[in-house]
Chain A
Amino acid sequence: MSGFIRFLEPQPAILARRRQIVADLADLLAKDGLIHEPRELVPFETDAFVSYRRLPLAVALPRTTEEVAAVLRYCHKYAIPVVPRGAGTSLSGGAIPQEDAVVIGLSKMTRILDVDFANRCATVQAGVTNLNISEAVMAEGFFYAPDPSSQLACTIGGNIGMNSGGAHCLKYGVTTNNLLGVTLVLIDGTVIELGGKHLDSAGYDLLGLVCGHEGQLGIVTEATVRLIARPEGARPVLFGFETSEEAGSCVADVIGSGIIPVAIEFMDKPAIEICEAFAKAGYPLDVGALLIVEVEGSEPEMEAMLSGIVEIARRHGVKTVRECQSATEAAAIWKGRKSAFGATGRIADYICMDGTVPLSQLSHVLKKTSEIVDRLGLRVANVFHAGDGNMHPLILFNANDPEDAARAEQAGNEILKLCVDAGGCLTGEHGVGIEKRDLMTHQYKKPDLDQQMAVRAAFDPQWLLNPSKVFPLDGRSAA
C-alpha cells in the first residue's frame, strides 16, 4: 500500500546513539540474543500487515523474564521506544517496528513450564505457540481453546496482546476468557504477577486490562492458561444456501434456538471458489453462500444437535447439506476454511477487515459491503465467524497499482465505519494496530479515548511501548 498511515517520526538523538545502544543491549542479553546488522533486521521490518515496513534499531531476543526486565529498564532509562513482537502474524500491523525502536521478540522464550491437570491449567513462556499448548496436553485429553487461524505460528504472548479469538470461541470464548495469569514486565523493568492458578483477582482486574493491550502496557513473559477436556468428537457439517441473506438468517435462528455449536463459519461465493480451488475440500460450487457448523460431543449427542440444526437450515431453504463421514472429510472442510487467507493471497493481494456486527445486522452489512466494493471497482471475498458476528471481508487488489491500493484502503475504511454504524466495532480479534488507529475516533468519542489513554499512561507515562499504535497520533495530550 502507499503509506497513508503515519508513524511517529524517529528521534534523531536516539538514532545518533545507535552504536552505543547496540553495545549496551548486547551486554544485557545472552549470546545470540541481539540482532543489529541491517540485513538481519529485515525479517523484523513488518508483520502480516505487509503494506508497511520500518527497520528497527535493533532486535532483542531475550530468554528469560530477567532479560526482558533488563532491556526494558535500559530502554526506559534512555527513553527508547520498544515494540514487542510475538511471531509477527499480526494482521493489523501491531508488531511493525519504527526506526528508533528496539524490538523485543519472544522467539527464544518457548518453554512449557508447568502442565497441571489437577488444576486444569498450563504455564508457559510467552513465545510458546498457540498450537504447542494444545499438543502438549492432547495425550491427557485436554486442549487450549482459542484457535486463531495462525495457531501454528502465533505465540501465546501475541495472543494475549491481541486478545485473539478463532473459529471455536463461540463456545469457549476468546483469549481473555481462557487466561488465568501472567508475568508482566512493566516499562521500568518491574516484574509483576497477575492472577495465577486461582480464578479472578483480589484487586482490579489488571489481567483483563492487559489482555488485548497490543503491547501498550508492558511485556508478558509467562502465561497460565485454562485447559479444557477435549470433547469425544467434533463434526463439521456444510450447508449451502442460494443467498447470503438465507445463510445469515439461518445463523440467527440456530443461535436463537438454544443449540450452541462450537463454530459457525460463513463463506460467500467468491470465498468458496477461492478456497475450493486451493484446498479441494469438496465445497459445493453451485451455491451463493456456505455455512460450516461444527458440533461436539459423543456420537449420539452430535446426532441430536445436528438434526436440530438441519431442521432449522431446511426452514431457511438450504440447498446442500453435507455431513462428513470420516475424520479426513472433517479435516478437509476445516482445511478449506483455515486456508482462506493463504488461498486468497495466491490469486491477488488483499487486505482483511475484522469488524464485528450484531447478528441481526449480518445481511445488511454484507449487502452494503458489496455495494462499497462495487462502487470502487474492487472485488471482495467474505469468510468469517458468523456465530459471533465477526466479519472478515477480504478486499482483493493489485499492490503494484498505487491507485488500486488506495481504493482498497478506502473500501476497508468505509466497511469498518459501516460495522461501527451498524452497532458493532472496528476489530473483533485482529487488533487496532496501525491499520485501524485513525478510525478509533469513529468508534469512540474524545472523552472515551482520553480515558483509555489516561489508563495507558498509568502503565507507561512516557509512551515508550509500541507508541505508534492503537491511539491516533494527534490528540494524545490527555495522557
Chain B
Amino acid sequence: MMLCPQTEAEACDIVRDHAARSAPLAVCGGNTRAGFGNAVAAETVLSSRATAGITAYNPAEMVMTAKAGTPVEDVQAALAENGQMLAFEPADHRAAMGTEGEPTIGGVFAANVSGPRRFVAGAARDSLLGIRFVNGRGEAIANGGRVMKNVTGLDLVKLLAGSHGTLGFLTEVTFRVLPVAKAVETLVISCLNDAEAAHAMAAAMALPVEVSGAAHLPESVKGRFAGGVLADGAATVLRLEGLAASVALRMEKLAAAMAAYGPVSRLGGEASHRLWREVRDIHPYADGTSRPLWRVSVAPSAGHQLVAALRLETGVDAYYDWQGGLVWMRMEADPEAALLRGYMKALGGGHATLLRATPTIRAATPAFEPQAPGVALLSARVKAALDPQGIFNPGKMG
C-alpha cells in the first residue's frame, strides 16, 4: 500500500499511527533511487510525491523553498527561467539504476546527491539551508532556515541530508542556488593512463584557474561519452566555467600547463554540457544490466591504485569523477565487496556503496560501507533520538 499525504499534518497523523503500532514505513519521494541502501521490509510505503510545489523563490536572494515532493524537473525549470541552477549538479540515477518515475527534490536531499562539482561547490547537503520533516513520533520539526549563514542550534539539516528517509520524513526543503555560468569549456587531454591522469588532475587543481569538473575516462568507456566525439585513447577532461572572457583566459593557462601531460583539445557548447551530464549520471554503466555497480568515495590519489589492485584479481571496469570525489566501478559478475572494501581500507579508507546488483547479490551484500563499532553505536543512538520505534526504512542503512 502506498500512502501519499497531501499535507504535513496528514503525514504527522500517518506516522503517529504507525509509531503507536510500531509498524514500519518505507519512506520515499519518487522512489527513483530505491537502489540506495538495503531492501526495506515494510508493507506500507510513505511517499512525499503528493506534497509538491515551490513555496518561495526570490532569485535575488538565491534561495528557494519547495515542498519535498516537488519534481526536480520543476525546480530546475523555475531556476533556469532566472538563469540559476542547483550548484551541486544532482545526478539522475534512473538510467543507471534501471528505475522509472519522477525524481523529487526531497529525494535529492535525502540521498545527498552530488555531481562533478562536488569538491568546489559541495554536495546537496552543502546547499541545503533549512528543512521541515516529520520525526518518528509524528511531530513536525523545523531546523535551519533560509539564510546562508546560520549556526543557531544543532545542524539537523546536515544530519537528515543523506539519511535516506531513515531519520525523518522530509516535507519541505530550503536550499541555496547559484547563477548559471555564462560560459563553459572543457579541456581534453588524450591518451593518459589512470595514474598519469591522477597526476594531471592534481596539477590542474593546484592551478589558480578554478577547475569546476575533472574526470578521467579510460579507453573502455570513453566512446560512450559526448556522442563519441572525444579523440583517440583515454580522455582526461577538465571543465572551466564563468564569464566568457574569464573562461577564455583561464583555458589558455590550463591548456598550456596540461600540454606537458599529453595532447590537448577543447570541447565547448552542447558537447561539453552533454559530457558532464553523462559523467554525473554514470552514463557508461547505464547499460540495462544488473551487473554490480559501485559508487566509491576515496581520496583522489587512491582511486587509480584501488582500481589497479582490483584488476589483478577480478573483472572490473571503472571511470573517475575526480572532482566529484568518486570512482564508478562496474563488476563483471561478483560484486567482490570484501575485496573492494579491503583494498580501500588499506589505501587510506573511504566508502563504497553498492548501487545496483541482482536481488540475490543485494540481499547478501551490505549496500553501505559497514561502519566502525563506535560510529555504528552512535549512529544507532542518533536514529533512536529521531525515530524511537525504528519505523522509518528499517534496515536500509544497516
Interface residues of A (CB under 8 A from B): 116-121, 140-142, 162-163, 165, 169-170, 173-174, 176-177, 186, 190-194, 196-209, 211-213, 216, 226, 229-232, 252-253, 255-260, 297-298, 300-301, 304-305, 356-360, 385, 388-390, 423-432, 436, 440, 443-445, 447-449, 451-452, 454-459, 470-471
Contact = CB atoms under 8 A, between A and B. Distances in A.
A256 B177 CA distance: 11
A118 B202 contact: yes
B243 A305 contact: yes
A358 B372 CA distance: 41
A455 B162 CA distance: 17
19 contacts: A116-B301, A118-B202, A120-B206, A141-B208, A198-B299, A203-B397, A204-B162, A206-B378, A208-B158, A208-B161, A226-B119, A301-B246, A305-B246, A388-B147, A426-B152, A447-B140, A448-B143, A449-B153, A455-B154
A227 to B, nearest CB: 9
Contacts of A200: 112, 114, 123, 125, 162, 297, 325, 351
Name, among A142, A169, A198, A212, the residue most crowded by chain B CB atoms within 10 Å (CB to CB): A198
Given A191-B374, A206-B378, A359-B61, A452 B156 contact: yes
Given A190-B374, A205-B125, A301-B249, A212 B349 contact: no
Given A205-B125, A389-B149, A459-B378, A199 B325 contact: yes
A265 B317 CA distance: 49
A253 B155 contact: no
B141 A447 contact: yes
A444 B372 contact: no
A156 to B, nearest CB: 16
A199 B118 contact: yes
B350 A198 contact: yes
A425 B384 contact: no
B63 interface: yes
Contacts of A390: 147-149
Contacts of A298: 208, 249-250, 253
B159 A209 contact: yes
A260 B104 CA distance: 28
Nearest to B244: A304
Given A256-B60, A470-B153, A388 B148 contact: yes
A357 B210 CA distance: 30
Contacts of B298: 197-198
A145 to B, nearest CB: 11
Given A192-B378, A206-B379, A455 B60 contact: no
B372 A458 contact: no
Contact of A229 (B123, B198, B205, B299): B205
B360 interface: no
B386 A451 contact: yes
A173 B245 CA distance: 25
B54 interface: no
B162 A260 contact: no
B148 A423 contact: no
Nearest to B366: A202
B395 interface: no
Closest 7 CB pairs of A and B: A208-B158, A258-B179, A202-B351, A202-B369, A199-B325, A197-B299, A428-B149
B194 to A, nearest CB: 14
A260 B62 CA distance: 11
A198 B371 contact: no
Nearest to B204: A229
B122 interface: yes
Given A142-B206, A388-B148, 5 more contacts: A186-B374, A193-B372, A200-B325, A229-B207, A256-B59
B146 A212 contact: no
A193 B350 CA distance: 11
B126 interface: yes
A119 B301 contact: yes
Contacts of A451: 135, 139, 141, 143, 156, 385-386
B59 to A, nearest CB: 6
A162 to B, nearest CB: 6
A196 B348 contact: yes
A255 B178 CA distance: 9
Given A357-B147, A360-B60, A448-B141, A163 B299 contact: no
Interface in B336-394: 348-351, 353, 368-369, 371-372, 374-376, 378-379, 381-386
A470 B155 CA distance: 12
B208 A198 contact: no
Contact of B62 (A197, A199, A255): A255
A358 B139 contact: no
Contacts of A447: 139-141
A295 to B, nearest CB: 10
Nearest to A358: B61
B381 A458 contact: yes
Given A120-B205, A199-B325, A201-B351, A431 B243 contact: no
A191 B299 CA distance: 22
Nearest to A207: B158
A360 B58 contact: yes
B398 interface: yes
Contacts of A216: 154
Contacts of B205: 120, 229
Contacts of A117: 202, 206
B170 to A, nearest CB: 14
Contacts of A429: 149, 151
B321 to A, nearest CB: 11
Interface in B179-232: 179-180, 182, 198-199, 202, 205-210
A381 B182 CA distance: 38
Contacts of A186: 374, 378
Contact of B151 (A118, A205, A430, A444): A430
Contacts of A176: 126, 155, 158
B300 interface: yes
Contacts of B297: 198-200
Contact of A201 (B145, B156, B162, B209): B162
B122 A173 contact: yes
Interface in B234-275: 242-243, 245-246, 249-250, 253
A309 to B, nearest CB: 12
A186 B377 CA distance: 12
B371 A202 contact: yes
